[in-house]
A and B are shown apart, each in its own frame.
Chain A
Amino acid sequence: MTTFRATLALLTTGTLLLTACGGTGSGSGATTAAQAPGGACKPEEVKLIGQVRNQTNPYEAAWLQGGDEFAKKVSLTQQRLTYDGESAKQQEQIRQVLATGNVRCSVLNVLPNGDSDTTPIVKQAQAAGAYVVTQWNKPADLKPADYDKWIAHITYDGKESGKQIAHALITAIGGNGGIVALQGILDTAAAKDRFAGLQAALAEHPEVTLLDQQTADFDRAKALTLTKTLLTKHGDAIKGIWAANDDMALGALQALEAAGKSGKVAVVGIDAVPDAIKAVSGGTMTATVSSDGPWQGGIGLAMGYCAATGQLDVSTIPTRAFFAKQFLITKDNAAQFATPKVDPAEFECANLFKRATGPIS
């Protein structure tokens, strides 16, 4: 389920570039709009659309719930679209929603299937006059600043996630000992970035050794089998398990339980899926990092709603492609993440960009 974070490497590169340019991006945001800018829509005219791959994993299900919560706040409903991870189907759905109703008051909060899918989506939305917010995937050279209907692109810094949980893991095992890493699908940017974060953390702690690193393809069942094998191979030398997502972390937990080592080996993951948060508050898992699906599902719609109703002037947004803040979840704060919920205040037009931690391009 995490493959869509594939672009993080490119985005990280983008960050470096932008740092070099010294943030000149903010000035260029004022693109000349030929038509009158947004604001022509009455609140009840706005149509909210949330599009994700499918509803079969907790993360994307929570995303759509967040969208529903925002819609309820403004007395509207969200139209839910899922495209089963098929790029062609995603494009077809976009074409359809842009061909019906009052398109100029439509707001799309989209999870593009891959980098290349983002380009046609924003171009079509721009042409039709609908507001669009994209998340996770986009080509590095495609910039919201060049469009006036593409409000923002939001993503998370995978290297930072990998590093944060690595630090939590290292602390949990007392700063020394052996750990193993369960990688995601190796040729994805998400897997690479997160592992880079782990390596960065290990570089600061030479007394912690990486005994082994294997891939379980972000898959829970594969992680289960793999962890059992690694336990056979390294035995008690394993003090901690770093997993590139929560699904694999949960698979590792099952393996530990079957081996009677539940709670004796520290496990960390990424995504903050409900089961992982439960495991963290229960003490079997050490930490996870939240990418906050409900917030992602609501914020994109909120941005579009504010722009469509004239409460947000797109041209004045300083950074329109940014990393969002992520939260390390440990036993101490697990309770507040236990049920995916949103703070309606965050969706106020004035607070839309509070979570931006830095520009990506």
Chain B
Amino acid sequence: MTADRLQTYGPTAALLALAAVFAVLSPQFRTLGNLQNLLDAGAVLAVVTIGATYVLLLGCIDLSAAGVMGACALAVSLLVANSRTALDLGPLGVLLVVALGAAFGCLSGALSVGLKVPSFMTTLGVSAIGLGVATVLFAGVQPAVSDPWLLQWASGRWLGFTRVTYLAAAVVVLAWLVQRHTRLGRYATAIGGGEDILRLSGIQVGRYKVGAFTVAGACYGLAAAMVTAQLGSGIVQAGAGLSFAAITAAVVGGTQLAGGRGGIAHSMVGVLILTVLANGLVLIGVSPYVQRAVQGVIVVVAVGATLWPLRHRLEVVK
């Protein structure tokens, strides 16, 4: 029971401890401006991590964010007012791109379920397809976004927080509700807890797996639109490295790779830990040459400290 609690509250405690240390060491860290900056910086990772978390709950791994986001970033920048095409679809363009992401996710899920191939393989394949689509759309010229509505996501502020921040927060709340109170969310969790049991209960497990992958894809699509708004143009590398960052965030927050444990709330704590860490280390003036190592050490220590009491000597870790 205590171990259970530690798993639930450990990451939150680690986050608070980190924030406290940075707040003591750096006066700039304590400012409202930095809080606004922090949440803005973590927004894209949060949305990607939500997607990754749904797949992790199943006990699967999704590495498709890089490719899907590349394709979606190019697509959204070409669908809204931009320097290359005559299109100006505005919000509809963003919706289409979320649908495109969902289609990619659906493909990942369908391939994993249908071909019974481990998800990290199929999602890597889908990532490659996404990058291929992105390359075709890129065609040698970077499209610059000129749609003021989309650009406002990154620069426009309400109460000092960017719109991207509010958007991410809304997605977090929605994703949490879906996870807790819908069949898709509950079954995704259940599949991670015991897929064979669901099959024995006559549940079409594949359908819900594909559903979770589709939600993940939609998240990547939205995240790609957010990145494009922030960068002002559609770039193929929009999602580079985000798959691993998202999985790291989820695991640091207490969502387990084996599936069924953790969830949106846990993963979001993980996102905040990583974001605070990146921000705080710059603010307290840690040399860039050692920053990455320091980040790695802190993440390992945080995860280790959280999971230490849970370990079981004969447990097999893969």
Asked if A243 is at the interface (CB within 8 A of a chain B CB), the reply is no
Interface size range of chain B in the complex: 35 or more
- The answer to whether A229 and B41 have CB atoms under 8 Å apart is yes
Using an 8 Å CB-CB cutoff, how does the interface string of A273-307 with B read, 1 for contact, 0 for none? 11100100000000000000000000000000000
Nearest CB in chain A: distance from B152 CB, A: 10
Asked if B252 is at the interface (CB within 8 A of a chain A CB), the reply is no
With A61-B141, A220-B235, A233-B28 in contact, do A254 and B131 touch (Cβ < 8 Å)? no
- Pick from B40, B154, B237: contact of A219, CB below 8 A: B237
- The answer to whether B230 and A56 have CB atoms under 8 Å apart is no
Interface majority SS (helix, strand, loop, mixed), chain B: helix
**Distance in angstroms between the alpha carbons of A273 and B236 in the assembled complex:** 15
8 interchain pairs, CB-CB under 8 A: A57-B237, A58-B142, A214-B291, A215-B288, A220-B231, A254-B231, A258-B155, A275-B233
- Having A228-B37, A229-B283, one finds 20 other A-B pairs with CB under 8 Å, namely A55-B135, A56-B131, A56-B134, A56-B138, A56-B236, A57-B236, A58-B140, A61-B141, A65-B140, A183-B288, A186-B289, A212-B285, A213-B288, A220-B237, A225-B278, A233-B283, A254-B231, A254-B232, A258-B154, A258-B155
With A54-B135, A213-B288, A275-B144 in contact, do A232 and B154 touch (Cβ < 8 Å)? no
Asked if A197 is at the interface (CB within 8 A of a chain B CB), the reply is no
Asked if A270 is at the interface (CB within 8 A of a chain B CB), the reply is no
Interface residue tally for chain A (C-beta within 8 Å): 36
Nearest CB in chain B: distance from A354 CB, A: 27
Residues on B facing A (Cβ under 8 Å): 26, 28, 31, 33-34, 37, 40-41, 44, 70, 131, 134-135, 138-142, 144, 154-155, 162, 227, 230-233, 235-238, 240-241, 278-279, 282-283, 285, 288-289, 291
Residues of chain A within 8 A of B41, CB atoms compared? 225, 228-229
Residues of chain A within 8 A of B241, CB atoms compared? 219
Residues of chain B within 8 A of A230, CB atoms compared? 282
Asked if A62 is at the interface (CB within 8 A of a chain B CB), the reply is yes
**Distance in angstroms between the alpha carbons of A154 and B120 in the assembled complex:** 40
Asked if A168 is at the interface (CB within 8 A of a chain B CB), the reply is no
Residues on A facing B (Cβ under 8 Å): 54-58, 61-62, 64-65, 183, 186, 212-215, 219-221, 224-226, 228-233, 250-251, 254, 257-258, 273-275, 278
